[in-house]
Amino acid sequence: MWETMTKMYQTEGGVWALYRGIVPTVAGVAPYVGLNFMIYESVRHYITPEGQANPSSIGKLCAGAIAGAVAQTCTYPLDVLRRRFQINTMSGMGYQYKSIVDAVRVIVGQEGLRGLYKGITPNLLKVAPSMASSWLSFEMTRDFFVSLNPELEAT
């Protein structure tokens, strides 16, 4: 790792080479997390049987998978931009962008809108189960702590 980092620093533009792709990465975090929470809560509410406070574990897994998949689909173009900028200076890769706007213009111009979603299928195959298990773990942990102090449930 240190050897690669040193080589990048020396041959690919100094410290900035180590942060290539940071702008689209940071720009995508807040929308992804916000959408994930919003969609999870909406789906969770929708699939909770009437008269119950919570859906089943399967329901929580489904809500988490749906939330992760939808949030990832909405913010995926920012992931494509991040990856393209990270390999921007690698020889033979063919990607040479001047800015984020230039990258979007070139990608859409050469590849169409589909270019902003290249690789989404394997990504969704990773994200959906990951978010499903994360949300179920969160819910189970929260329920455990609430059971230790039932007054917390009202907050």
**Overall average pLDDT of the 105-123 stretch:** 95
Dihedral over alpha carbons 119, 124, 126, 128 (to 10 degrees):
170
User: Which range in 10-24, 83-97, 138-152 is most confidently predicted, on average pLDDT?
Assistant: 138-152
- Ranges of each domain in the chain: 2-77+120-154
Lowest mean pLDDT, pick from 3-7, 11-15, 36-40, 90-94: 90-94
Sign of torsion over alpha carbons 128, 123, 16, 29: negative
Considering only residues 103 and 14, tell me which one the structure prediction assigns the higher pLDDT: 103
High-pLDDT (> 70) share of the chain, %: 92
Comparing C-alpha atoms, which of 70, 65, 71 is closest to residue 131? 65
Per-residue confidence (pLDDT) for residue 138, from 0 to 100: 95
In this predicted model, what pLDDT tens digit does every residue of 48-78 receive, in sequence order? 988 888 899 999 999 999 999 999 999 999 9
